[in-house]
Amino acid sequence: MNADSKVTYDDTDWDLQRNITLEGEAFFKVAKGKTFTVSTDLGQVQVLGTQFNVEARKDYFEVSCYEGLVSVTFNNTTQKLPAGASLLFIRGERMERTVSNREPSWLNRESSFERVPLQFVINELERQFKIDVALENVDTEVLFTGSFNNTDLETALKSISTPSKLNFKVSGDNVLFYAEDTP
């Protein structure tokens, strides 16, 4: 499970129904057998023996399939997702992507993004480092492509600020991102 995530399930009938509820993000390796279902507030994923990642955060729902086939249900629409594919919904807007890695980057202590609004990058930074981020004159809808290291805050801040042309100040558990002054 990734930072700020929680999984719950009923173990009394686990042999009959392998259902879990996820808040946040988790990677699953499911042995072949009975159906395995991951339910979130945003959607549902159902599989039979596969490897996949589910991230369900406020206004952000992404399922990436690394092996096998998963069935993704979002807004009462179901789609089969094969290995090497990812399905992302940001504020309900649907995007399909290709998965090039063998597992999600967060398992290797890195958070990666491809054309994601900066606000979701900032949210992940706050979760990974348990910090509060304030923004001053920052357009949070600008699309960000890149990654940051989840073990070194200074490096992570530079990985976000440099390509976004932002400055930052750190004070304890608080970080301020602000737009660079124009000449």
**pLDDT tens-digit series, residues 29-55:** 998 877 899 999 999 999 977 999 999
pLDDT band at 181 (very low <50, low <70, confident <90, very high): low
For residues 54, 56, 57, 60, the Cα torsion angle rounded to the nearest 10 degrees is 90
* Architecture, CATH, for domain 6-98: Sandwich (2.60)
Examine domains 6-98 and 109-179 and report if their fold is the same.
Answer: no
Is residue 111 a contact partner of residue 150, using CB atoms and an 8 Å limit?
yes
Name residue, tokens 């124009």.
182
Is residue 164 a contact partner of residue 137, using CB atoms and an 8 Å limit?
no
The whole-number average pLDDT for the span 60-77 is 94
Domain limits, the chain? 6-98, 109-179
Taking the chain, what is the end-to-end CA distance rounded to the nearest angstrom?
Answer: 44
Locate 150 and state its tokens: 């989840």
Q: Is the pLDDT of residue 111 over 60?
A: yes
Q: Is the pLDDT of residue 83 over 60?
A: yes
Q: Is the pLDDT of residue 94 over 70?
A: yes
pLDDT given for residue 183 in this prediction: 40
Classify strands 18-30 and 36-39 as parallel, antiparallel or unpaired.
parallel
Please state the three-class secondary structure of 77-138 as a single string: EEEEEECCEEEEEECCEEEEEECCCCCCHHHHCEEEEEEEEHHHHHHHHHHHHCCEEEEECC
3-class secondary-structure state, position 154: helix
Q: Identify the CATH class of 109-179.
A: alpha beta
